[in-house]
Amino acid sequence: MTTAYLDRLSQQLDALAAAGRRRVTRPVSAADAVHVVRDGRMLLNVSSNDYLGLSRHPLLIERARAWAETMGVGATASRLVCGTLEAHATVEAKLAAFKGTEAALVLNSGYQANEAMLAALLMPEVAGRAPLVFVDRLAHASMHEGLKAAGVRQIRFRHNDMAHLEDLLRKREGEPGPRFIVTESVFSMDGDRADLPALCDLAERFGAFLYVDEAHATGVLGPEGRGPTCDPAVAGRVDMVMGTFGKALGGFGAYAACSAVLRDWLVNKAGGFIYSTAVPPPVMGAIDAALDLVPTLEAERARLHAHADRLRAALGAKGLDSCGSTTQIVPAVLGSEEAALSAMTALEEAGVLAVAIRPPTVPAGASRLRFALSAAHTDADMDRLIAVVEALA
């Protein structure tokens, strides 16, 4: 590697720093479900996606340990090389029942799942050379990357604007090629929700394949926490549901919930599944336990949403935009990168870990603090957080 190349890297990193966009990794140690220790100080963590506090639940830990003892700590290879372990078959059957679908498939991460699955679904041999792909402009980066990997042109509709999507679908009604609609049920940076019944209606009316990412909804919304795609008005009408285990379910990994034919296609064509070592048995044990627990956690979901309501009210009283949030993700839009970084520093000095989100993750001029709440937060934790927020300049 040449010195000139490393110099160019350093220059680009300096440019990111000057723009307030350079990222760094900062060590922490987890104290409990909602506290971390950094530089010897205990901080209240309001940035974690551990929405139900399951990452430290005794049942998940116990089952992870038990499956490690009986099946080992590693899956050793891709499932297409050494076979599917009992751990994977057990969880996929339970997951399909949980989501009310014919089949399910476990993958290694949400990013990998979206990228690999969309690329596989849009391969020319099944989608043709010019599929019409309509995607919410605020869909997660992994979804946009999957569409890039497929080599398709995105037709982006305004965020959650069903009238705009309908207009785009109608204008291309006479064009050849299959239609796909790609969105999230809960948007990770704004904390708002897609209108899934309307999306289902449009998909059915225009003959479109509907792909929904439920990463931030699984465990938190829908009947028994099964996600909004399991709501009665939507159940059975979404072609592909993607979700994750690393957020409300407290573990790691991702899934597809779909028909048996779609699952078989992913097994054969999704590179992220084919070429990756499978999820390890201890992780699968934790997922298995979480799937048992989630339907029983109605009180925890109610507490989580009550926390979010309180925080939104406090932000609104200060005149801060929370982007139409209706979920456990509550942004506070501050505008510039400098303002968001300054607020993050002020909160950390007050003992609260709240991360500044900056471009390119969010649009220019929309830098923010992104609060991600947990049912494990107590009322006293929320009192403390709100007092710190109210003290912001």
Instruction: Answer yes or no: 259 catalytic.
Output: no
- The catalytic residue among 57, 99, 247, 377 is 247
The answer to whether the CB of 235 falls within 8 A of the CB of 92 is: no
Instruction: Answer yes or no: 305 catalytic.
Output: no
- The catalytic residue among 92, 192, 213, 214 is 213
- The catalytic residue among 50, 115, 184, 288 is 184
Q: Please give the helix or strand (H or E) that residue 352 lies within, else none.
A: strand 352-353
- The catalytic residue among 35, 49, 292, 305 is 49
Q: How far apart are CA 83 and CA 134, in angstroms?
A: 36
- The catalytic residue among 114, 160, 188, 276 is 188
Instruction: Choose among 176, 96, 111: nearest CA to 149.
Output: 111
Residue with the two structure tokens 């990222």:
23
Instruction: Answer yes or no: 35 catalytic.
Output: no
Please state at what angle helix 379-390 crosses helix 298-317, rounded to 10 degrees.
20
Whole-angstrom CA distances from 351 to 66, 346, 356, 383 are: 37, 9, 15, 13
Instruction: Choose among 316, 352, 376, 285: nearest CA to 54.
Output: 376
The answer to whether the CB of 179 falls within 8 A of the CB of 209 is: yes
Q: Which residues of 282-315 are buried (b: 16+ CB within 10 A; e: fewer)?
A: bbbbbbbbbbebbeebeebbebbbebbebbbebb
The C-alpha R_g of the chain, in whole angstroms, comes to: 21
Instruction: Choose among 305, 358, 350, 312: nearest CA to 331.
Output: 312
3-class secondary structure, 269: helix
Q: Which two tokens stand for residue 388?
A: 């710190």
Residues 6+ apart with CB under 8 A from 270: 107, 116, 117, 119, 120
Instruction: Answer yes or no: 216 catalytic.
Output: yes
Instruction: Answer yes or no: 188 catalytic.
Output: yes
Task: Compute how many other C-beta atoms are within 10 angstroms of the C-beta atom of residue 156.
Answer: 17
- The catalytic residue among 57, 88, 140, 144 is 140
Catalytic residues: 49, 140, 184, 188, 213, 216, 247
